[in-house]
Each structure stands twice: as structure tokens, then as C-alpha cells.
Amino acid sequence: MDNSEHKYKITLVYDGTNYCGWQIQPNGVTIQEVLQEKLSIILRTDIEITGASRTDSGVHALAQIAHFSYDQEIDGYRFLASINGILPIDIRVKEIEKMPPSFHARYTATNKVYHYHINLDRVQDPFKRLYCWYFPEKINLEALKACSNEFVGTHDFTSFANEPRVGATARNPVRTLRRVGVTPEKEGVRLEFEGDSFLYKMVRNITGTMIEVGKGKRNVEEIRSILAAKDRRKAGRAAPPHGLFLVRVDYPMDVKEGK
């Protein structure tokens, strides 16, 4: 038996509807809790996992990344069959890769992409109700696009975070958004956010404020003053969680399989 410790990266997809987010907490079932429990059964030892993104309650993921350590070599094919055989149907592990010891799902990440889906149709599609914000009001898409440009770049996002006195916002509220896209899709619109990292509820708070601009309740010019205010009360209400998806987490090209 090889008793040295191995680092493994897993890619998973989940429907966050029935979970209180990613991170373990005392008041509800979370993705991390369920995954650790099932991994510990499969690998026959206590396993702790770390995720790239601490998605909030009700938020979904198309490609969440997590890592864990284990003292044996893992057969990827058998592992996927075993873990997915006992996970709930709304969580699936898509891939497992062996990584170098220095790899960290959260801190090694260089870029993250989130999408927020909004259903603007006159009649709500029942098959999208758990995955889109139903908003049957007229929205000015050109105003949305103009508004999105104000968020691109490096800014202090205190006004768009829900943890002003503790956590990441207190330590460093400055983040860089490389892209904020507005893409029309069938029966609605998709907002696309790409950046180095994100503060707690940052995407949902930006989305809620952008929608107020699209409705004409705010002017595009207000975004700069909201950012400068560093006051959460100046921005709009958070968009509901169920329209938000973690789409991709990127890592440096030189992060290769550990030997």
C-alpha cells in the first residue's frame, strides 16, 4: 500500500434547489456535507473536501471544482461509478484527476464564470421555474448592456457584497471583473460574469441592480457612485438565487497531474 498522501481534484454538477448552499452549516443539508459523507463511505475513511466556490443556498453548478486528499491511488473509472451510485440524483461527480500537492481548488483558481438566467416571457415556463428568475416586466436590454460595462475592471465591490464587516469583504473587497455580458436567449436574457473571484452574493446583488437600470428605476450613471459609496444599502436588492449557475473555474495551464 502506498501510504503517501495524494491530492485529487473532482469536477461536479449539481442542482442546488434542495440544498442550503455548498458550505457545511448547522441549519440545513449542504452539497459539501453530502459529498463528504458519500466520499467517506466509498473510500472507507473520513474525507474533507474544499470547493472552489461557496455557492449560496439554491444556487446551481455546472462545473464546481473541489479537492481532497487520500492515502491511496484511486481508479477513476471505478470511483465515478461508485460515488455516483450513492449520491443523490441532483449531485453528480463528472471527473476525477490526480493533482500535485500544491493544488488548491479555491486558491489556485485564476478565473471563475457565473451565468444568471432571467425569464422575461409573459407566461412563466414551469420547466424553468427552478432555474430562472421569472421577471415578466419590460426590460431595456440596451440599458442593461450599458450598465454592464460599468462593472468591468478592478473595483471595490463593498456596495455589492453582503458581508461588509467580516470575511473576504473586510479583508479585501477589491475584485476584477474581466467581462459582464448580456446575451438574449429564448424567452429571456442571460447575464454572464467572468472574474478573478467574487464576494458573497456579489453576482446576485449586481444582477438586482442591473435589472433596476433595465426597468428605468435607476440610471446607468448611478453605478459609479454606488461603487464609490462602499455601502451595500446604495445598491439594489439581490436577485433570487435559483437563476444563478457556476459555469466554469479556470486554473493555470501548468497545473498538471501529480507524480
Q: Could you tell me which of 9, 88, 14, 6 has the C-alpha nearest to residue 50?
A: 9
Give me the active site residues, please.
Answer: 56
Inter-residue contact 55 to 22 (CB < 8 Å)? yes
Mapped to the 3 state alphabet, what secondary structure does the chain carry? Answer: CCCCCEEEEEEEEECHHHCCCCCCECCECCHHHHHHHHHHHHHCCCCCCEECCCCCCCCEEEEEEEEEEECCCCCHHHHHHHHHHHCCCCEEEEEEEEECCCCCCCCCCCEEEEEEEEECCCCCCCCCCCCCEECCCCCCHHHHHHHHHHHCEEEECHHHCCCCCCHHHHHCCEEEEEEEEEEEECCEEEEEEEECCCCCCHHHHHHHHHHHHHHCCCCCCHHHHHHHHCCHHHCCCCCCHHHEEEEEEECCCCCCCCC
Q: How far apart are CA 36 and CA 251, in angstroms?
A: 23
Rounded Cα gap, residues 130 and 16, in angstroms:
9
